[in-house]
Amino acid sequence: MERKNVWNSYDENQLEALETLAKNYRAFLDAGKTERECVKEAVRLAEAAGYRNLENVIAAGEVVKAGDKVYAVNMKKTLALFSVGKESLDKGMRILGAHIDSPRLDLKQNPLFEDTDLALLDTHYYGGIKKYQWLTVPLALHGVVAKKDGTVVELAIGEKEEDPVLCISDLLIHLAGKQMEKKASQVVEGDDLNVLVGSRPLKGKEDEELKDAVAACVMDVLRRQYGMEEEDFLSAEIEVVPAGKARDCGLDRSMVLAYGQDDRVCAYTSLAALLDTAPQEKTCCCLLVDKEEIGSVGATGMESAFFENTVAELMNCMGCYSELSLRRALKNSRMLSSDVSAAFDPGFASFFEKKNSAYFGRGLVLNKYTGSRGKSGSNDANAEYIARLRRIFDDHGVAFQTAELGKVDVGGGGTIAYISALYGMDVIDSGVALLSMHAPMEIASKADIYEAKKGYEAFLQEA
């Protein structure tokens, strides 16, 4: 059952469409390095495609009908978009669900300190990372600062050509004998991931010496550029992410190298598929959620009631809401949990099982189950649903492959699939394979990105 590399099957028109998609995808990555930025960019694209804010529809007392396109935002970090179909909503929806949070470093609430004439920011890492990979990488700050007067300032430092970048220093190799003997998990401790932000002291009035003058100089910069005081860190959400743009990768330009492709590669292709799909018989939905990397918890994670509540509001605007109808709508839906998979890496072949691995250039990946070891934390999609998807993908000429996340006893991971499955709907994990997943820079195949969008469009049309 070996799958073929799809590159040589493309004609000139398909190659042009592939490159256009990759270009637009890189632009999305550049505009959305945080979950807030992803939602903002997705809303911009959705509104350009005719989608309207459901809150405004509700406030105006309007009726939602077949053919309408609406979206709802939760706390600026979660987004649900609906293309309303002709069938009654209690017959179910076709849902593409992905997450838009990515591993990173978050500034602590009291982050700024000075040590030996260096100013640093204290961080707390978010999601699963190899901590040593974040040393000496050019870094940027993205986020918001909420002030006591109710104003919210957006902050982005390190992305423009004229911007400075930040970094976390590492021990020089000449003194690193003992460091090199440590386990990789202990080369640098979490509390030592301090971001270097300054070394120049602020000059006091009339040559007075200031305490922590370097940290004071940093705050002076933030005060002048963003009107920010040190106490404003208490109500800020500032993320430390790799600086720089998404790039073509490889001498043949066949890949994309970028931060945050887990899981924005699936989020973007899901969004693009919905925006490019005409209204169908069934209502189609794209759901972009937060907090997957830490268990889908909290008010913006998949475990929250946001999606369920939004479907209830939509049904109410359509004049068909009842608790039973809502339950039926969720149960009768079908979903692709659009999340990435691990691509086979020949440099680490012993961690994979070759005939059950995903490969670059072989298309969309179906993961019947994720979880770890004995399928712990897995959804485990049923055979009938997989057969249906096989038919749809084959009928639409979508290249797809099946995979597991490495060898059985090596490790594993989870997605949002099992949470959606609690409603009783059919769900399977389906996404793009990545190299270097969860590293500061991840790699995806353009062919797989293209096939993912094709697959998501086919799903919306026929599932």
Q: What is the CATH number of the domain that holds 291?
A: 3.40.630.10
- pLDDT of 9 above 70: yes
Identify whether residues 237 and 304 lie together within a single domain: no
Give the mean model confidence (pLDDT) for residues 109-127: 97
Can you state the angle between helices 446-462 and 261-275, rounded to 10 degrees?
A: 50
Q: What is the CATH number of the domain that holds 188?
A: 2.30.250.10
Give the mean model confidence (pLDDT) for residues 75-82: 98
pLDDT computed for residue 133 by the predictor = 97
Judged by DSSP in three states, 247 sits in strand
Give the mean model confidence (pLDDT) for residues 196-206: 87
Identify whether residues 354 and 418 lie together within a single domain: yes
Identify whether residues 13 and 85 lie together within a single domain: yes
Is the four-CA dihedral 334, 338, 340, 343 of positive or negative sign? positive
Identify whether residues 184 and 292 lie together within a single domain: no
Is the four-CA dihedral 17, 18, 19, 22 of positive or negative sign? positive
Query: Do the beta carbons of residue 319 and residue 69 sit within 8 Å?
Result: no
Across 191-195, 253-257, 411-415, 439-443, least confident range: 411-415
Q: What is the enclosing helix (H) or strand (E) of 325?
A: helix 323-331
pLDDT computed for residue 207 by the predictor = 65
Give the mean model confidence (pLDDT) for residues 82-96: 97
Residues 6+ apart with CB under 8 A from 237: 36, 106, 143, 144, 146
Give the mean model confidence (pLDDT) for residues 61-65: 96
pLDDT digits (tens, 9 = 90+) for 141-187: 999 999 999 999 999 999 999 999 999 999 999 999 999 999 999 99
Identify whether residues 283 and 186 lie together within a single domain: no
DSSP secondary structure, 51-103, as one string: -EEHHHHHHTTPPP-TT-EEEEEETTTEEEEEE--SS-GGG-EEEEEEE----
Query: Do the beta carbons of residue 435 and residue 257 sit within 8 Å?
Result: no
Identify whether residues 160 and 223 lie together within a single domain: yes
The mean pLDDT value of the chain amounts to: 95
C-alpha dihedral (227, 233, 234, 235), degrees to nearest 10: 60
Strand 78-83 versus strand 283-289 pairing type: antiparallel
Boundary residue ending a domain (242, 272, 290): 242
Instruction: Match 């260096």 to its residue by tokens.
Output: 118
pLDDT band at 373 (very low <50, low <70, confident <90, very high): confident
Integer Rg of the chain from CA:
23
- pLDDT of 243 above 90: yes
Across 142-146, 326-330, 402-406, least confident range: 402-406
pLDDT computed for residue 203 by the predictor = 85
Identify whether residues 85 and 110 lie together within a single domain: no
Domain count, the chain: 2
- pLDDT of 208 above 80: no
pLDDT computed for residue 409 by the predictor = 79
Identify whether residues 301 and 435 lie together within a single domain: yes
pLDDT band at 413 (very low <50, low <70, confident <90, very high): confident
Identify whether residues 183 and 266 lie together within a single domain: no
DSSP 358: B
Instruction: Match 């100089």 to its residue by tokens.
Output: 217
Q: Does residue 216 sit within a domain?
A: yes
pLDDT computed for residue 441 by the predictor = 98
- pLDDT of 396 above 80: yes
Closest CA to 381 of 436, 434, 418: 418
Identify whether residues 175 and 308 lie together within a single domain: no
Residue 177: give the domain boundaries: 106-242
Identify whether residues 92 and 203 lie together within a single domain: no
Alpha helices in 347-402 (DSSP H): 383-395
Boundary residue ending a domain (195, 212, 242): 242
- pLDDT of 220 above 80: yes
pLDDT digits (tens, 9 = 90+) for 272-323: 999 999 999 999 999 999 999 999 999 999 999 999 999 999 999 999 999 9
Closest CA to 463 of 331, 281, 271, 338: 281
pLDDT computed for residue 412 by the predictor = 78
Burial of 2-38, coded b for 16+ CB within 10 Å and e otherwise, reads eeeebbeeeeeeeeeebeebbeebbebbbebbbbbbb
Identify whether residues 373 and 429 lie together within a single domain: yes
Give the mean model confidence (pLDDT) for residues 231-241: 97
Boundary residue ending a domain (210, 242, 274): 242
